[in-house]
């Protein structure tokens, strides 16, 4: 089978993780630029002096196969028909992205935590704050986070989750170019505004984005037919992706600055 065809088949049927490596790297790089001197020093102490947040931002995805119990930690299933997160309904055992961010914050902030567990907690937090800003990781439409929704993404077969993980972002350009553009948006006023709220508040925002844009702007097609994703949908989606990644970077920096004193 030609390599290009293999890629298309995989994009159609393989479950994806929130944002691709590029998206997670962007979140981490935006956050790293906003760390206080104290937090930056603590990150270097925990990860090692030559290890960046971006270099470990996708670690939690890389260990999912060997540690299957971590799979549910990447998302929270909030029914698309419900307006807000309800932890009792959506995460009764704390085994979701919100519960795990809170758990790992406690581990990271505990002075008795051994270095290995502290490093792992930091790596999970970096990844999960990014995860929860991908709208399909805070929405449940009985379609496995969009993995079961087939689309024709500019003429190529791809599931809806993959479209939002990396398909749309990949059309925006090279990572360094995107980073420069996104960084220009990061004003002190915006940083202060977006750093407010709780993890649940941030998940609520992602859920609303899934309702309004991810699903709300899909073209209407016959049942079972692939959703055509092209210019009109991209025009609605791109500003949201940009905002969600920028918010994730600001909020990750806020979390780390508050914890790594």
pLDDT tens sequence across 12-33: 334 445 688 999 999 999 999 9
Domains and CATH numbers, the chain: 3-259 (1.10.575.10)
Q: What is residue 224's predicted lDDT score, i.e. its pLDDT?
A: 84
At a CB cut-off of 8 Å and minimum separation 6, what does 168 contact?
Answer: 234, 237, 238, 241
- Distance from C-alpha of 151 to C-alpha of 174, rounded to nearest angstrom: 24
* pLDDT of residue 101 exceeding 90: yes
In DSSP notation, 89-137 reads HH-TTS-SHHHHHHHHHHHHH-TTS-HHHHHHHHHHHHHHHHHTTSGGG
Across all residues in the chain, what is the average pLDDT?
Answer: 92
Residue 25 burial by Cβ neighbours in a 10 Å radius (0-12, 13-18, 19+)? buried
pTM summary value:
0.92
Residue 1 has pLDDT above 70, yes or no: no
Question: 208-259: per-residue pLDDT in tens?
Answer: 999 999 999 999 898 889 999 999 999 999 999 999 999 999 999 999 999 9
CA 150/CA 163 separation, integer angstroms? 10
Average pLDDT for 197-213: 98
């Amino acid at each position: 089978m030609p390599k290009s065809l293999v890629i298309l088949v995989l994009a159609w049927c393989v479950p994806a993780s929130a944002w691709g490596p590029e998206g997670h790297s962007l979140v981490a790089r935006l956050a790293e630029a906003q760390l206080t001197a104290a937090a930056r020093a603590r990150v270097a102490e925990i990860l090692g002096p030559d290890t960046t947040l971006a270099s470990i931002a996708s670690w939690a995805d890389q260990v999912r196969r060997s540690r299957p119990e971590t799979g549910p930690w990447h998302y929270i299933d909030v029914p698309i028909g419900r307006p807000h997160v309800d932890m009792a309904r959506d995460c009764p055992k704390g085994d979701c992205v919100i519960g795990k961010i809170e758990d790992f914050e406690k581990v990271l902030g505990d002075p008795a935590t051994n270095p290995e567990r502290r490093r792992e907690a930091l790596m999970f937090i970096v990844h999960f704050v990014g995860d929860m800003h991908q709208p399909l990781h805070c929405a449940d439409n009985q379609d496995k986070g969009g993995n079961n929704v087939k689309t024709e993404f500019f003429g190529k077969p791809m599931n809806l989750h993959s479209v939002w993980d990396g398909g749309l972002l990949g059309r925006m350009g090279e990572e360094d170019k995107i980073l420069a553009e996104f960084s220009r948006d990061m004003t002190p006023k915006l940083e202060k505004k977006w750093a407010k709220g709780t993890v649940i508040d941030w998940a609520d925002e992602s859920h609303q984005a899934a309702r309004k844009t991810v699903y709300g702007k899909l073209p209407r097609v016959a049942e079972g037919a692939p959703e055509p994703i092209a210019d009109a949908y991209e025009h609605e989606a791109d500003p949201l992706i940009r905002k969600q990644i920028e918010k994730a970077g600001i909020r990750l920096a806020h979390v780390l600055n508050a914890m790594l004193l």
